[in-house]
């Protein structure tokens, strides 16, 4: 190779490197251009409000100006939370609600997805029926279910009375400390299962048929195909469903606000509803901010634990 040819090759390589650098730089500018609006919105409506809430949690800030000036109170709001029986009950209710709703709703969603994934007539109609509660406003659903739970004329009590020949009911579903939270669980499972069903349905339709064909060739039946092919292929889908359902379970508010107002005897009190009560009804914005910070930390810890479990499963 002559010196001239070597110089030409060197110039070509250098030009290619420069063009590649310019192209990557242009891609980075384009990427920042499209992501900046979303980052600005997250900063304005998520990051800044949380930082303000952290600041307020160390003060005696009220929602409306009062005769006393706003002052720094340190950790007194958090110390008060540790002694607040209503807060402790709300935290317990949230965990109980999540421990019941998440596995039941996830299992039911997977079952419905398996049923509507069959190539039989009418499956599209049932998909629409199961998903329609998700599209309905939760406030409207809560009002309708309040009538269903009515002890005098509610359909649920009438149904139980009929099938038991008068031995069951009527029950004070929303007025009983023992039945109020399970009643909200039933409503929440019915209303949200269609969303998880659609996610599972998308996951099922993404599984290759060749895996089932290979399993059938090896002599696997329906149950072995389900446990050895379907469930492993739906692992990422299940992780997403469990995480989102857990977060939604801890954000329980609308059903409580419409149907029980946290009662009876704080049996349905939740952290979000208690935060709203303290901040907007009692006007204790600093105390409500402390509750919201604790709520954020709990969700953060749960998310980290779930990520850790997921990472361990993938490593195995």
Radius of gyration from C-alpha coordinates of the chain: 27
Write down the pLDDT at residue 274: 94
* pLDDT score recorded for residue 193: 93
Amino acid 20: pLDDT: 54
Indicate if the pLDDT at residue 314 is higher than 60. no
pLDDT at 29 over 60: yes
pLDDT, mean of residues 127-137: 89
- Model confidence band, residue 102 (pLDDT cutoffs 50, 70, 90): very high
Percent of the chain with pLDDT over 90: 41
In this predicted structure, the answer to whether residue 8 has a pLDDT above a threshold of 80 is no
Quick: pLDDT tens for 183-212. 999 999 999 999 999 999 999 988 888 888
CA distances from 137 to 133, 144, 191, 240, 246 (A): 8, 11, 10, 23, 20
Q: Give the lowest-confidence range in 60-64, 131-135, 277-281.
A: 60-64
pLDDT, mean over the chain: 85
Which residues on adjacent β-strands are paired with residue 72? 59
- Given pLDDT bands bounded at 50, 70 and 90, which one contains residue 161? confident
Position 143 pLDDT exceeds 80: yes
| Residue of 175 and 316 predicted with greater confidence | 175
In the structure, what pLDDT confidence band is assigned to residue 118 with cuts at 50, 70 and 90?
confident
Nearest residue to 172 (alpha-carbon basis) of 243, 252, 267, 77: 267
Average pLDDT rounded to a whole number, residues 237-258: 90
Mean pLDDT, residues 109-117 taken together:
91
Bridge partners, residue 59, by sequence = 72
Q: Helices (H) and strands (E) in the chain — how many of each?
A: 15, 0
Asked if the model's pLDDT at residue 270 lies above 60, the reply is yes
């Amino acid at each position: 190779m002559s010196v001239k040819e070597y110089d030409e090759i060197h110039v070509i390589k250098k030009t290619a490197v420069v063009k590649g650098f310019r192209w990557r730089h242009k891609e980075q500018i384009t990427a920042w251009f499209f992501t900046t609006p979303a980052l600005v919105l997250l900063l304005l409506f998520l990051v800044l409000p949380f930082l303000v809430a952290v600041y307020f949690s160390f003060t005696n800030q009220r929602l409306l100006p009062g005769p006393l000036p706003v002052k720094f109170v340190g950790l007194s709001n958090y110390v008060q939370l540790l002694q607040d029986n209503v807060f402790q009950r709300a935290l317990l209710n949230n965990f109980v609600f999540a421990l019941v709703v998440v596995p039941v709703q996830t299992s039911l969603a997977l079952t419905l997805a398996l049923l509507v994934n069959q190539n039989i007539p009418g499956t599209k109609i049932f998909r629409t029926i199961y998903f329609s509660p998700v599209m309905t406003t939760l406030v409207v659903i809560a009002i309708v279910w309040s009538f269903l739970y009515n002890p005098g004329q509610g359909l649920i009590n009438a149904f139980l009375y009929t099938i038991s020949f008068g031995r069951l009911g009527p029950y004070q579903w929303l007025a009983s400390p023992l039945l109020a939270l399970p009643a909200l669980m039933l409503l929440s499972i019915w209303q949200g299962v269609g969303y998880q069903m659609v996610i599972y349905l998308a996951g099922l339709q993404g599984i290759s048929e060749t895996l089932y064909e290979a399993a059938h060739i090896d002599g696997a039946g329906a149950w072995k195909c389900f446990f050895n092919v379907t469930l492993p292929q739906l692992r990422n889908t299940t992780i997403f469903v469990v995480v989102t359902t857990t977060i939604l379970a801890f954000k329980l508010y609308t059903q409580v606000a419409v149907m029980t107002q946290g009662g009876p005897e704080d049996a349905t009190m939740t952290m979000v509803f208690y935060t709203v009560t303290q901040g907007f009804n009692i006007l204790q914005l600093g105390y409500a901010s402390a509750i919201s910070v604790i709520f954020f930390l709990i969700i953060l810890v749960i998310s980290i634990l779930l990520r850790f479990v997921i990472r361990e499963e993938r490593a195995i």
